[in-house]
Amino acid sequence: MAGINEFHTQVQSEVCSVHPLDPLSVAEMREAVALLRTAQNLSAKVRFMSATLREPTKHEVLAYEAGTPQVREAHFILLDNTDGQTYEAIVSLSNKCVVSWKHIPGVQPPIHIDEFIECENAVKASPEWRAALSKRGITDFDSAIVDPWSAGNYGDHTYSGQRLARGYTWMRTSNDDVGYGRPVEGVVAIVDLNNMKVLAVEDNGVVPLPPPSGNYTATSVGPLRTDLKPLDIVQLDGPSFRVDGYSVSWQKWKFRIGFTPREGLVLYRISYDDAAQERSILYRASLSEMVVPYGDPGPNHNKKNAFDVGEYGIGRLVNSLELGCDCLGTIKYFDAVMTDSKGGVTVIPKAVCMHEEDAGTQWKHTDWRTNHTEVRRARRLVVSFIATVGNYDYGFFWYFYQTGDIQLEIKLTGCLSVGALPPDVQPKYGSMVAPQLYAPIHQHFFNFRLHFMVDGDKNSVYEVDTIAEPAGPDNPLGNGCYPMATLLDKESVAQRIINPLAARYWKIVNPAKRNKVNQPVGYKLMHGENVLPFAKPEASVMQRAGFMRNHVWVTAYDPTELYASGDYINQHSGGDGLPAYVAQDRPLENSDVVLWYTCGHNHIPRPEDWPVMPVATMGFMLRPVGFFNANPAMDVPPPELRASCEV
């Protein structure tokens, strides 16, 4: 094990020089909070809803790398609970001052995890909520849990201007159950999060509590199987990657790690070394938004549309990962630094996991005449984080392959959001998962913002369909088909959906750089599982999550356009984000472009999804298409193994 220990020492002792894209350190975050508090004389009623690096623009970063000095700045979103107003501030760490302080009228920042806890306490203390539970024969209030769901926007002005959450209640049998197995159906507490007051308790009718069914801990699920032998990943010589601060190099890949409380993991400056030349592929890649529209029109579930990025901040909800469980092998972890809502600086250790995995066969050929075989195994580098948003758990895994492929895989797991039904009632808009327990049908939509930089700043995006040649003199046997590429030359036409029967994909090329067969170098986006929303166009969620309408959007780069549903989606009526960005109809050909990919997963729950769902996976692949002159993994050596054996 000496090799592994040496590796850890080496990583810790490496000098970490600060790069403009490095997340704020604990010291920087503390200093920025202190500078802001003093300069603005902030009261104790002002919450720190978000604190991050004020990310420099692409042009500033490229200028820095050319040798100019950098300016470190922090960006804050603050909420004044006394009047419910939102402010944004930029603090310069380089100049020790507040650079800007701006009132943002009419918006609601994402719900902070601190508000989750305070909201639960407020609901559980409320006489109206206690009365609603008592009406159902429930008096053990201590065993109740209450999750604040984002309120959305349904044109109801009753609580106009107030910061709202909808509190749903479940009864726990013990800490061994998942917590969500016994919904108190029909009871919804409307809470003002500025003063933590219950404004009203909706009661949509009494449904009996389902019997307990949700145990999930190792000690509570019954006997565990006993015939599983250990399977470990052994890297006696340490890993093949190198880490310098937030900069990673592995095989021929290079990139930088970032992390924000809103998006979670952010990857920057992704490049591949090709014949000793560092060739850029992506400038920045991140999860920009996600939303889960539920398909049950009944009053208990028809306002469930969680935007887990823009309404909760999926990065803030990141798990601290566990060696051997979440991550197997020789692991490099990255911590995440953020603030609590009072401005205290917190570190979430092991928020991002990085390790290598065997990925099966890389390539193989057997010469059947000589019986000579060449085979290589594929290795991939995995960079991932997992976040828990109430009942659901989401993993986001970026894979880098030796072939130049980049894959994004989402892992959906955790616990369903369920409802209770009286005995012997079957739901139309969902599925039974346990006795008297049903899970509404729903979709999970994710949007990824992919700021491409294929061999330079100026890229064009094409949609490629495979077309069947009409019968005729050019196609006498009727077998002809060919790929047809259509330039997406402006934002109004760069709004596309998948077409699997045309084998559709999109390619991002650099028209000025040619490969050895005189094609522009490029990468293609290959979609995986996908779907369109089933909600009607006039539904609130369709306005608020307009990004769901298309699978691919392309926009001209603007550093202020980062989120598919806009900066402030919480309680927003809709129309912001991608639909607003593309209304500018900017030209896209041979320019600095951002591709936004939306993927949807239709979830018709199964009994096997209870009490904890087996992981469902979805995602997409970015694959070189004429970026290289040949298979870039031909130089991968045959494997040297010391532990594999025959039995």
The HSE-up count of residue 400 (CA atoms within 13 Å, CB side) is 23
Closest CB to Co ion among residues 130, 606 = 606
Q: Is 301 in the site for Co ion (CB under 5 A)?
A: no
Assess whether 392 carries a catalytic annotation. Answer: yes
User: Minimal distance in Å, beta carbon 616 to Co ion?
Assistant: 7
**Are 524 and 284 in contact, with CB atoms under 8 Å apart?**
no
Q: Which of 246, 392, 399, 438 is catalytic?
A: 392
Identity of the residue, 301 or 379, whose beta carbon is nearer to Co ion in the bound complex: 301
Q: Is the distance from CB of 369 to CB of 301 less than 8 angstroms?
A: no
Q: Which class for 199: exposed (0-12), middle (13-18), buried (19 or more C-beta within 10 A)?
A: middle
Q: Of 350 and 603, which has the nearer Cβ to Co ion?
A: 603
Nearer to Co ion, 182 or 603 (CB): 603
Size of the site for Co ion (CB under 5 A): 1
Minimum distance of Co ion from residue 439's CB (angstroms): 8
One symbol per residue from 585 to 624: x for binding Co ion (CB under 5 A), - otherwise; what is it? Answer: ------------------x---------------------
In 3D, which of 420, 621, 444, 628 has the Cα closest to residue 528? 621
Q: Which CB, 446 or 553, lies closer to Co ion? A: 446
For tokens 């919804």, the residue is 188
- Smallest distance, Co ion to C-beta of residue 617, A: 12
From the candidates 177, 192, 296, 308, which is the catalytic residue?
A: 308
Residue 240 tokens, joined: 């093949």
For Co ion, what does the binding mask look like between residues 376 and 415, x meaning CB under 5 A? ----------------------------------------
Least separation in angstroms between residue 442's CB and Co ion is 6
DSSP, collapsed to helix, strand or coil, labels residue 528 as coil
Residue 419 burial by Cβ neighbours in a 10 Å radius (0-12, 13-18, 19+): buried
Cβ atoms within 10 Å of 371's Cβ, excluding its own? 7
Q: One symbol per residue from 547 to 586: x for binding Co ion (CB under 5 A), - otherwise; what is it? A: ----------------------------------------
Round to the nearest angstrom and report the end-to-end CA distance of the chain.
25
Active site includes 563? no
- What DSSP assignment string belongs to 155-198? S--TTTT--EEEEEEEE-S-TTB-S-SSEEEEEEEEEETTTTEE
The number of residues making up the chain comes to 647
Closest contact distance (angstroms) between CB of 412 and Co ion is 6
What residues are paired with 30 via a beta bridge?
Answer: none
CA distances from 210 to 418, 424, 478, 551, 591 (A): 11, 12, 61, 39, 57
| Rounded CA separation 497/30 (Å) | 45
Residue nearest to Co ion (CB): 603
Nearer to Co ion, 21 or 410 (CB): 410
Q: Per-residue DSSP letters for 77-131? A: EEEETTTTEEEEEEEETTTTEEEEEEEETT--PPPPHHHHHHHHHHHHH-HHHHH
Pick 513 or 603: Cβ nearer Co ion? 603
Q: Minimum Å distance from CB 301 to Co ion?
A: 13
Q: Over the Cα atoms of the chain, what is R_g?
A: 26
Minimal distance in Å, beta carbon 336 to Co ion? Answer: 25
- 431: amino acid identity, one letter: S
Tell me the closest approach of the beta carbon of residue 358 to Co ion, in angstroms: 30
In the complex with Co ion, the residue whose CB is nearer, 88 or 609, is 609
Q: So which residues are the catalytic ones? A: 308, 392
Q: Which residues bind Co ion (CB under 5 A)?
A: 603
